[in-house]
Amino acid sequence: MHRLLLAPGIQPEMRAVLDGRFEMFDMTGFDSPADVPGLDPATITAVVTKGESVFRERHIAALPNLKIIANFGVGYDGIEVQAAKARGVMVTHTPNVLTDETATTALLLALAVTRKLVVLDRLVRTGGWPTEPRELLANSIIGKTAGIIGLGRIGKAIARRLEACGAVVAYTDTKQQDVPYPFHPDPVALAKASDLLVVACQGGASTRHLVDATVLDALGPEGFLVNAARGTIVDEKALVAALKEGRIAGAGLDVFENEPHVPADLWTMDNVVLMPHRGSGTHETRRRMAELCRSNLDAFFAGQPLPTPVPEMRG
């Protein structure tokens, strides 16, 4: 039986589908594989990690017989893929199976923040209706421009949902695509044209703080930001400042720059909707992700073609 190392925080759904197939060791609470009680790092041939978990070159180097890193999630920016590739270690992920749920989460955040869902819910629960004197009219997205940063699988799924709700979609990406949406060359240009700006690109060093103070100022005091991609894509300090100063109208956030830590300033803002990184968080999707992750492991050790290697491993 192959020995497998679980990166910190792997969900029960993933553990359940691996049980009986591998001898598993859990790295939760430990900084290095060598710190895990009862584990000889040289016996580990497989690792299961998740997108936001950090699995760097030093972790790979600590496992001399590692053969495969199977990522439980589509985003794999926490893995140093080039270091793995240099060692001949395969890396896989779980695309497609979580596209729709993540897109639905982005739509949920967009509607919740523009329609003041959390504020109105609290109003009813605290007995403030119908005596609450404040004007609580919300904002519609019907006929408004929703700009999407990153028109990949998830970005396109978000676009379809926003269109169904009456929004007009525009986008920016690394290159123009054959789609019926207006293309803008960069996030600043897109933000200027948008009432709602939705982050849907991949995380990693190349997109760190892509949405900065300049982009937020271009979005303007009547614009809303939604991020269900990666927290590192948005300059969080700039976002908090823009919200506090009224330079944007509000934000719907499922992800944060230093998870699970959320800036305290966001907790009390009525124009912000917060979620604890649950973009694909349904029972059904988690099960499909776990099964695909297991399929990659099973195929690798059986010497068969891998269902979903990361793009850097293809060809």
Which residues carry out catalysis?
Answer: 230, 259, 277
CA distance 169 to 162: 7
Residue closest to 110 by CA, chosen among 74, 73, 148, 137: 148
Tokens of 296: 């990659």
Residues 6+ apart with CB under 8 A from 304: none
CA distance 242 to 98: 31
CA distance 248 to 308: 39
Alpha helices in the chain (DSSP H): 12-18, 57-61, 81-87, 99-114, 117-125, 153-164, 187-193, 213-219, 236-244, 264-267, 283-301
Residue closest to 1 by CA, chosen among 51, 40, 43: 43
CA distance 97 to 284: 10
Instruction: Please say whether the beta carbons of 172 and 184 come within 8 A.
Output: yes
Instruction: Please say whether the beta carbons of 229 and 204 come within 8 A.
Output: no
Query: What helix, strand, coil percent values describe the chain, rounded to 5?
Result: 35, 20, 45
Residue 243: count of CB within 10 angstroms of its CB: 21
CA angle 165, 168, 172 (to 5 degrees): 120
